[in-house]
Amino acid sequence: MHSVGLIDSFGEFKEFKNIDRATLQRVLEDVFRTMLRKKFGTDENFDVIINDKSGDLEIWQNRKIVHDGEVEDIRTQIAYSDAIKIEPDFEIGEDVTEEVGMAVFGRRAVLSARQTLLGKVLELEKDELYKKYKDRVGEIITGEVYQIWKKEIMVLDEEGNELLLPKTEMIPADYFKKGESTRAIVLKVEMFNGSPRIILSRTSEVFLERLFELEVPEIIDGLINIKKIVREPGERAKVAVESYDDRIDPVGACVGMKGSRIHGIVRELRNENIDVINYTSNLQLLVQRSLSPSKITSVKIEEGEKRISVFLKPDQVSLAIGKGGHNIKLASKLVGYEIDVYRDSDETEEDDIDLDEFTDEIDAWIIDELKKTGCDSAKSVLALSIEDLVRRTELEEETVIEIRKILQSEFE
Task: Give the model's pLDDT for residue 79.
Answer: 86
Condensed to tens digits (0 to 9), the pLDDT of residues 274-312 reads: 999 999 999 999 999 999 888 898 898 888 888 999 988
Most confident range (mean pLDDT) of 15-24, 186-195, 367-376 is: 186-195
User: Crossing angle, helix 205-215 and helix 260-268, to 10 degrees?
Assistant: 150
pLDDT value at 172 more than 90: yes
Residue 273 backbone class (left: φ over 0; alpha: ψ -120 to 50; beta: rest):
beta
pLDDT above 90: percentage of residues in the chain: 39
Q: Is the pLDDT of residue 376 over 80?
A: no
Write down the pLDDT at residue 412: 66
Mean pLDDT of the chain: 85
Residues 6 or more apart whose Cβ sits within 8 Å of residue 23 = 124
Which residues sit opposite 321 in a β-bridge? none
* pLDDT at 375 (0 to 100): 79
Q: Which of 12-21, 72-81, 216-225 has the lowest mean pLDDT?
A: 12-21
CA nearest to 367, candidates 400, 412, 411: 400
CA distance 263 to 214: 13
Q: How confident is the model at residue 351 (pLDDT cuts 50, 70, 90)?
A: low
* pLDDT single digits (tens) 116-163: 777 777 888 888 889 889 999 999 999 999 999 999 999 999 988 999
pLDDT at 3: 44
**300 phi, psi to nearest 5 deg:** -125, 120
Give the model confidence (pLDDT) of 191-230 as tens digits.
888 889 999 999 999 999 999 999 999 999 999 999 999 9
Rounded CA-CA distance 312/298 in Å is 7
Element (H, E) at 105: none
φ, ψ of residue 329 to 5 degrees: the values are -65, -45
Average pLDDT of the segment spanning 33-49: 82
Distance CA 39, CA 31 (A): 13
- Looking at the predicted structure, is the pLDDT value of residue 18 above 70? no
Write down the pLDDT at residue 253: 94
Provide the pLDDT confidence category of residue 44 given band limits of 50, 70 and 90.
Answer: confident
Share of the chain above pLDDT 70, in %: 92
Number of residues written out for the chain: 412
Strand partners, 65: 78
Q: Which of 165, 196, 197 is nearest to 183 (CA)?
A: 165
Q: For residues 312 and 322, give the distance between their C-alpha atoms in angstroms, rounded to a whole number.
A: 14
Q: How confident is the model at residue 346 (pLDDT cuts 50, 70, 90)?
A: low
- E strands, 129-223, are 140-148, 152-156, 162-166, 181-192, 195-201
Nearest to 95 by CA among 112, 109, 78, 108: 78
Whether 164 shows a pLDDT value over 60: the answer reads: yes
- Is there a contact between 235 and 273 (Cβ–Cβ < 8 Å)? yes
Looking at residue 2, what is its pLDDT? 43
Q: Report the interhelical angle of 326-335 vs 314-321 (nearest 10°).
A: 70
Distance separating alpha carbons of residues 208 and 160, to the nearest angstrom? 25
Helix (H, G, I), strand (E, B) or coil at 294: coil
**What's the CA gap between 298 and 311, in Å, rounded?**
5
- The residue-averaged pLDDT of 400-408 equals 89
Confidence bin at 15 (pLDDT 50/70/90): low
SS3 percent helix, strand, coil of the chain, rounded to 5, is 40, 25, 35
User: Regarding predicted confidence, which is higher, 35 or 348?
Assistant: 35
Does the pLDDT of residue 7 top 50, yes or no? no
In this predicted structure, what is the pLDDT of residue 20?
A: 67
Q: Identify the weakest region by mean pLDDT among 185-199, 223-237, 397-411.
A: 397-411
Question: Does residue 313 register a pLDDT over 90?
Answer: no
pLDDT for res 19 = 64
Helix (H) or strand (E) holding 128: helix 107-134
Q: Do 203 and 182 contact (CB within 8 A), yes or no?
A: no
Q: Which pLDDT does position 315 carry in this prediction?
A: 77
pLDDT of amino acid 42? 80
Helix/strand/coil (H/E/C) assignment for every residue in 377-408: EHHHHHCCCHHHHHHHCCCCHHHHHHHHHHHH
Asked if omega into 293 is within 30° of 0 (cis), the reply is yes
b/e code 299-327 from CB counts within 10 Å (16+ = b): beeeeeeeebebbbeeebbbbbbbeebbb
pLDDT at 6: 46
Predicted pLDDT at 347? 47
DSSP notation for 309-376: EEEE-HHHHHHHH-GGGHHHHHHHHHHTSEEEEEE--SS--TT--BGGGGTTTS-HHHHHHHHHTT--
